[in-house]
Amino acid sequence: MEINGVAFKDPVSGGGTKAASATLANTFDTFLMLLTTQLQNQDPLDPMRSSEFTSQLVQFSGVEQAINTNKKLDQLVQLQVSNQLNSAVAFIGKTVEVISDLLLLKDGEAKISYGLDRNAANTIISITDQNGRVVRTVQGETDAGRHEFEWDGRDSKGVLVADDVYGFSVVATDGDDDTIDTIAASFGIVTGVEIVENAPRLNIGELGVPFDAVFAVRENEPSS
């Protein structure tokens, strides 16, 4: 937007409503100073047309209204986040099943679930460390439907690995070696909740998962 030759960034487009309001106020002060100077030094024989600065004042008014609208939207977002956080707090201490490709190994135990869209000829479950190295590979179930797998925390050589956050994948193929659609999830006990990027996140030990990734909640179920 340009006012009397002074260009400035549209405060509604980014930077937050507080910064936008400050920008608008500073720019409006500059506009009034320039307008006053122009009025004081205008040619009496060719005075400024009132419609010019009236139009500019209307532009300022429109921007200010947009900023105020954004403030209201910010308040609604904060209210929604607060409500979601209150709901998430109720999950603390409960076992949840979350859509994820990460799992938490705790006390040498971890559990995942996975679903197959149709019968498979081969299902491979791979567990990797945080560097992407394969720790364990096992054969999974091949029937269509939901299945669970409990990992005993041992690698491919039978050595017990350290408790940590690990990655996992479930790959199923049919007789023609075509990939079958799968969905995978991990289990964990919620130890806390926090707000990350204006959205609630559940903490399962060191593992953080989005609140909307939860699709099952259970009580008093042994889980990692």
What is the average pLDDT score of the chain? 79
With bands split at pLDDT 50, 70 and 90, how would you rate the model's confidence at 196? Answer: confident
Phi and psi at residue 152, to the nearest 5°: -90, 5
Out of 15-19, 35-39, 189-193, which region has the weakest mean confidence (pLDDT)?
15-19
Outline where DSSP puts E strands in 1-144. 2-3, 6-7, 95-99, 102-104, 110-116, 122-128, 134-139
| Cα–Cα distance for residue pair 12/40, rounded to 1 Å | 32
**pLDDT tens digits, residue range 101-140?**
999 999 999 999 999 999 999 999 999 999 999 999 999 9
Scanning 103-212, the segments in alpha helix (DSSP H) are: none
User: Residue 178 has what DSSP assignment?
Assistant: P
Please determine, for residue 216, whether its predicted confidence score (pLDDT) is greater than 70: yes
Q: What's the token pair of residue 128?
A: 């990797």
Q: What is the CATH number of domain 95-218?
A: 2.60.40.4070
- CB 129, CB 135: distance < 8 Å: yes
pTM score, two decimals? 0.61
3-class DSSP state of 148:
strand
Residue with tokens 């259970």: 218
Domain boundaries, the chain: 2-89, 95-218
Q: Which helix (H) or strand (E) holds 91?
A: none
